[in-house]
Amino acid sequence: MIVVGGGVAGVAAAVAAARNGAKTLLMEKQVVLGGLATIGLISWYEPLCDGKGTQMVTGIAEELIKLSVKYGFDRLPEKWGGEGKYAACNERYSTHFSPGIFALAMLEYLEENGVSLRLDTLATYPDVENGVCKGILVETVGGREYFPAKMVVDATGDACICDRAGIPTELGNNYFSYITHEIDREGAKELAETGDFRTARKWKNAGSDLFGNGNPEGKGFIQVISADDVTEYMIWGGKQVLKRLKSEDKDSRDVMSIPLMPQFRKIRRIVGEAEFDGSEDGIVIEDSVGVFGDFRKAGRHFQLPYASLYNRKVGNLFAGGRIISAKDDGWELTRVIPVAALSGEAAGTAAALCVKEKCSNHMLDRKKLQEALHVSGVKTQF
Query: For the domain that residue 131 is a member of, what is the CATH number?
Result: 3.50.50.60
CB–CB of 269/169 below 8 Å? yes
Identify whether residues 94 and 192 lie together within a single domain.
no
Domain presence at residue 136: yes
Identify whether residues 131 and 197 lie together within a single domain.
no
Q: What is the pLDDT of residues 159-204, one digit of tens each?
A: 999 999 999 999 999 999 999 999 999 999 999 999 999 999 999 9
pTM confidence score: 0.97
Domain presence at residue 98: yes
d(CA 101, CA 32): 11
Query: How many domains does one find in the chain?
Result: 2
Identify whether residues 227 and 313 lie together within a single domain.
no
Identify whether residues 66 and 213 lie together within a single domain.
no
**DSSP secondary-structure letter at 353?**
H
259 Cβ neighbours under 8 A, 6+ residues apart: 39, 40, 41, 178, 179, 180, 234, 237
d(CA 89, CA 82): 11
* pLDDT score at 154: 98
Domain presence at residue 64: yes
Identify whether residues 147 and 294 lie together within a single domain.
yes
Identify whether residues 135 and 45 lie together within a single domain.
yes
Q: Is 317 left (phi over 0), alpha (psi -120 to 50) or beta?
A: beta
d(CA 6, CA 13): 9
Q: What is the pLDDT of residues 134-156, one digit of tens each?
A: 999 999 999 999 999 999 999 99
Identify whether residues 33 and 92 lie together within a single domain.
yes
Identify whether residues 14 and 93 lie together within a single domain.
yes
* pLDDT score at 210: 86
What's the domain range around 274? Answer: 2-172+267-375
CB–CB of 138/124 below 8 Å? yes
Domain boundary residue, one of 239, 257, 275: 257
Tell me whether strands 25-27 and 2-4 are parallel, antiparallel or unpaired.
parallel
What sign for the dihedral angle of Cα 117, 98, 221, 325? positive
Domain boundary residue, one of 207, 238, 257: 257
Identify whether residues 143 and 290 lie together within a single domain.
yes
Identify whether residues 236 and 296 lie together within a single domain.
no
Q: Which residues of the chain have pLDDT under 70?
A: none
Count the neighbouring beta carbons within 10 Å of the beta carbon of residue 144.
Answer: 9
Domain presence at residue 333: yes
Domain presence at residue 382: no
d(CA 160, CA 169): 9
Domain boundary residue, one of 214, 232, 257: 257
d(CA 37, CA 256): 16
Identify whether residues 183 and 62 lie together within a single domain.
no
* pLDDT score at 219: 85
Closest CA to 263 of 357, 380, 157: 157
Domain presence at residue 225: yes
Identify whether residues 22 and 117 lie together within a single domain.
yes
* pLDDT score at 217: 86
Domain presence at residue 381: no
CB–CB of 237/41 below 8 Å? no
* pLDDT score at 64: 98
Coil vs helix vs strand at 130: coil
Domain presence at residue 276: yes
CB–CB of 162/154 below 8 Å? yes
Coil vs helix vs strand at 370: helix
